[in-house]
A and B are shown apart, each in its own frame.
Chain A
């Protein structure tokens, strides 16, 4: 799978509040489907559906050997998504911070004698 396709899957998986809440819950430790369906007031099949999406995106994994098949967070994929977002958010933010500085400079520039005098005195 190409990295852009992988990111598509990751972002699609993250674009749902229940799934984000599940990830937040798993960030505190592994949990079974039964344990997860409690706090979310959802049926186990509904939770399972969300878990499948998260699993396909590589955001969580299942311990199939354990009796209760606990789900756990796979932080690596999440980090990848964060890195990607952060990198590009940075580009925009860097542009806009430069624009902030430029706008400040432009506003100081239009030689306002009164202001300059005040500075000098």
Chain B
């Protein structure tokens, strides 16, 4: 299933996607560093040299990505504020610009909620990012990791197909 992206409010961005796997596995893939580093890599050419996660309420995490091309790094870090395996994980997220210039504010944390539900072996993931302000959201969006998530892609796709036709 393609990613579904919506904007529940002007401070939030929500991503929904399904996976053909039991919820516990999807949970593990989000909470065990040796699994996280296998997929949360972003575009080609990036590795994830730092992935420390202490998944419990009050536990810290730090993720760092590194460009293989020029060695530049950036990352996120923060604290887990709600841990309810394998259904719900909430963490705050500070942006660590490393040596990459961007519009993303470093001081205001976003709150990221991961919700997993399972039906007949298929897990639905809902990831909601709540930013401190609309400006913070826009900063994150223009930086990119949170993206093109702005729009209902399907509707846009539809329109662009019509335009191309």
Using a CB–CB cutoff of 8 Å, the interface residues on chain A facing chain B are 3-4, 7-8, 11, 14-15, 20, 23-24, 27, 73, 75, 78, 82, 84-96, 98-104, 106-107
Contact = CB atoms under 8 A, between A and B. Distances in A.
A106 B13 CA distance: 29
Nearest to B24: A106
A98 B19 contact: no
B50 interface: no
A95 B38 contact: no
A101 B39 CA distance: 9
B149 to A, nearest CB: 7
A14 B35 contact: no
Contacts of B144: 87-88, 91
A94 B15 contact: no
Given A11-B151, A95-B39, 19 more contacts: A3-B142, A7-B142, A14-B151, A23-B159, A27-B165, A73-B163, A85-B153, A89-B147, A90-B43, A91-B144, A92-B147, A93-B3, A94-B44, A98-B41, A103-B19, A106-B21, A106-B25, A106-B28, A107-B21
B114 interface: no
A118 B5 CA distance: 41
Contacts, number: 106
Contacts of B21: 103-104, 106-107
Nearest to B1: A96
B163 A24 contact: yes
Contact of A102 (B39, B44, B141, B156): B39
B29 A99 contact: yes
A92 B20 contact: no
B26 interface: yes
B4 to A, nearest CB: 11
Contacts of B138: 4, 8
A99 B163 CA distance: 33
A103 B29 contact: yes
Contacts of B160: 78, 82
Contacts of A96: 3, 17, 19, 39
Closest 6 CB pairs of A and B: A88-B147, A85-B148, A4-B142, A98-B39, A103-B21, A88-B148
Contacts of A20: 155, 159
A106 B1 CA distance: 20
A95 B147 contact: no
Interface in B28-72: 28-29, 35, 38-44
B103 interface: yes
B151 A85 contact: yes
Nearest to A103: B21
